[in-house]
Amino acid sequence: MSGKIELMAVAKPGDIEKKSFEIIDSEVPEPRKFAGIEWQIVRRMVHTTADFELIDLVRFHPEAVASGLDALRSGCTVATDTEMARCGIPMRRMNPLGCEVRCLMNDPEVISSAKRNSTTRAHAAMDLAAHSMRPEIHVIGNAPTALIRLVELVGEGIMEPPALVVGMPVGFVNAAESKKLLMNSGGLPYITIEGRKGGSALAACVINALAEVVLAERKLSGEI
């Protein structure tokens, strides 16, 4: 069986993303569940995964967007729970904002601590971040143990509440539960997803969406 396949014409790489957003906008007509910057974030999440079900699963703390934007505007440190998430937040977006993105999973101190205390490296990395790095934004797309430990550290007063937690660990063991813990924490501005879905690419794309907002502001003002 054969037939002609109609392909969309795109001239440049940037046109693909632009056309993708246009398609998402057309398939989710207004009035939408989200608006403004929240929709820009959710739309990028759909773009990253081609999963429209996320629209019904994304949850925003009321202060999350404003707090996250303020942190990026101030040139913050972003900590990720995987190298994949770190690589998913390109420095072409972060450098103009004076922000850095770090992952401590392969730090020798983290590896040693995890072995010594029989914990996951994600748990040990969160302890090290709390005591030495103190990032303003946490991006967790893989390890429920990282998200659980973050909530514990803040609840115990060991870690100051960060400006934003992008908590989207994926999987079947404590992924959904850790996200519920985050949403019930009270004092943590979060962007999360109910249930088992998530992942490093998804968590990273939230920061990319927020960074694009700040970059657009800087371009409009002539700063970059």
pLDDT tops 70 at residue 212: yes
Q: How far is it, in rounded angstroms, from Cα 148 to Cα 119?
A: 12
- Residue 5: pLDDT band (50, 70, 90) is confident
> Per mean pLDDT, which range of 5-14, 25-34, 203-212 is the poorest?
5-14
- The CATH number of whichever domain residue 151 belongs to comes to 3.40.50.10230
Q: What is the pLDDT of residues 92-146, one digit of tens each?
A: 999 999 999 999 999 999 999 999 999 999 999 999 999 988 899 999 999 999 9
Residue 40 lies in a domain: no
Residue 142 lies in a domain: yes
The catalytic residue among 47, 123, 131, 138 is: 47
- R_g of the chain computed on alpha carbons: 18
CA dihedral 204, 163, 194, 44 (to 10 degrees): -40
Residue 92 lies in a domain: yes
Mark out the alpha helices in 156-199 (DSSP H runs): 175-183
47 is catalytic: yes
pLDDT tops 90 at residue 193: yes
Number of domains in the chain: 1
Q: Which domain holds residue 83?
A: 57-103+136-221
Residue 89 lies in a domain: yes
pLDDT computed for residue 10 by the predictor: 67
Q: What is the mean pLDDT of the chain?
A: 94
pLDDT computed for residue 11 by the predictor: 64
Residue 41 lies in a domain: no
Residue 148 lies in a domain: yes
pLDDT computed for residue 163 by the predictor: 98
